[in-house]
Amino acid sequence: MSTDSLIFRAALVQLRSESVVETNLEAAEAGIRAAAQGGADYVQTPENTSMMVLKTRELFEKVLPEKGNPAVGRFSALAKELGIWLHIGSIAIRLSDAKVANRSFLYTPQGGIAARYDKIHMFDVDLPNGESYRESKNYQPGHRAVMAELPWGKLGLTTCYDLRFPALYRSLAQAGAQFITVPSAFTKQTGEAHWHVLLRARAIENGVYILAAAQGGDHDMGRATFGHSLIVSPWGEILAEAGTDPEVVFAEIDPARVADARARIPSLRHDRVFEPPEVAEIVPVKEAS
């Protein structure tokens, strides 16, 4: 644990999850242990930590409810053993015979669950390269924003595709979040185009740290993810970045930098209510007589 109570060490565990749950849990545990050994107080894994599958039948053959779920219990025990704040980017949780939650878990150093967050925005898209995703087919979207109290400040939780909806981040920042998480499994194509700029934009416009652990590389089900796990400062600086292979990256997080960024550009206090847009009427200009 950091000796200065106002500063903490964050670690992002980049993974390349597959369709075999036990293999993924072992890889995640190894990365988390490496992060703790490196002095991390807070450790985050990516979206889809427990498994990455594309076929509906395979998903429902493997997904389990939260109660009695071995992954949920395993990470609780690991957080307690290592004495860290452990944020599992997401685990697929069965809600019914037809729907699954894409659920984040934040564990305390005592192994308790401090917060759960179900991903709100569903990734339904057809990409130009022929890839097609229909997350809403199997997953039930969450309906509320979630924030948790860490020893160093407030943490806002988001996941992957949420990144494209800035109102969620604005809401969290205005509610007091100083750090916002974006555990992700961005596709290679969209990541190359938008990952860095969107994460930096969310940090800058809200004066927050962004902590975004990612999946990276070619997965066994045929999907390619972008990687490049990032920690971004409230001023938009990249403090830590991974490549495309599984690894652990670290950065020191100083909450005082949040206050400094917000003092320099106090835009969180300057939002105004305005009328929705409408097409302006063209008014002809009268010539002077």
pLDDT digits (tens, 9 = 90+) for 200-229: 999 999 999 999 999 999 999 889 999 999
Mean residue pLDDT of the chain comes to 95
Is the pLDDT at 129 greater than 80? The verdict is: no
Reduce the DSSP state of residue 208 to 3 states and report it. Answer: coil
In three-state secondary structure terms, 23 is: helix
pLDDT confidence band for 3 (50 / 70 / 90): very low
Task: Give the tens place of pLDDT for each residue, 81-98.
Answer: 999 999 999 999 999 999
Over residues 109-135, mean pLDDT: 88
Model confidence at 4: pLDDT above 90: no
Average pLDDT over residues 111-127: 92
269, 21 contact by CB (below 8 A): no
pLDDT at 273 over 60: yes
C-alpha to C-alpha distance for 123 and 137, rounded to whole angstroms: 10
Q: Which residue has the tokens 């729907």?
A: 99
Residue 131 has pLDDT above 80, yes or no: no
Q: Is the dihedral of CA 163, 52, 136, 62 positive or negative?
A: negative
Q: Has 47 been annotated as catalytic?
A: yes
User: How far from each other are the two terminal CA atoms of the chain, in whole angstroms?
Assistant: 80
Average confidence (pLDDT) over 255-274:
96
Q: How many CB atoms lie within 10 A of CB 40?
A: 26
The pLDDT > 90 percentage for the chain reads: 88
* b/e per residue 223-256 (b: at least 16 CB within 10 A): bbbbbbbbbbbbebebbbbbebebbbbbbebbbe
Check if 62 is active-site: no
DSSP string, 123-151: -EEE-TTS-EEEHHHHBPPP-S-EEEEET
Name the active-site residue from 160, 188, 205, 286.
160
Q: Tell me what pLDDT residue 6 has.
A: 87
The two beta strands, 209-212 and 179-181, are: parallel
In the chain, at which residue ranges do the beta strands (DSSP E only) sit? 8-14, 42-44, 85-94, 100-107, 113-118, 124-126, 132-134, 146-150, 153-157, 179-181, 209-212, 216-218, 224-226, 230-232, 238-241, 247-253
pLDDT at 231: 99
The pLDDT score that the predictor gives to residue 5 is: 60
Report whether pLDDT(168) > 90.
Answer: yes
Is residue 183 over pLDDT 50? yes
Whole-number Å distance between alpha carbons of 261 and 82: 33
Q: What are the angstrom distances between the C-alpha of 60 and each of 97, 101, 125, 138? A: 8, 12, 22, 9
pLDDT of 288 over the 80 cut: no
Let me know if 29 is a catalytic residue. no
Catalytic choice (26, 29, 81, 119): 119
* Residue 2 confidence class, pLDDT cut points 50, 70, 90: very low
Q: List the domains of the chain with CATH numbers.
A: 8-264 (3.60.110.10)
Pick the more confident residue, 248 or 284: 248
**What confidence category does residue 151 fall into, taking pLDDT thresholds of 50, 70 and 90?**
very high
Residue 222's pLDDT is 86
What is the model's pTM? 0.94
Phi first, then psi, for residue 17 (nearest 5°) are: -65, 150
Q: Which of the 8 DSSP states describes residue 287?
A: P
pLDDT for the residue 289: 63
Q: What is the mean pLDDT of residues 39-49?
A: 98
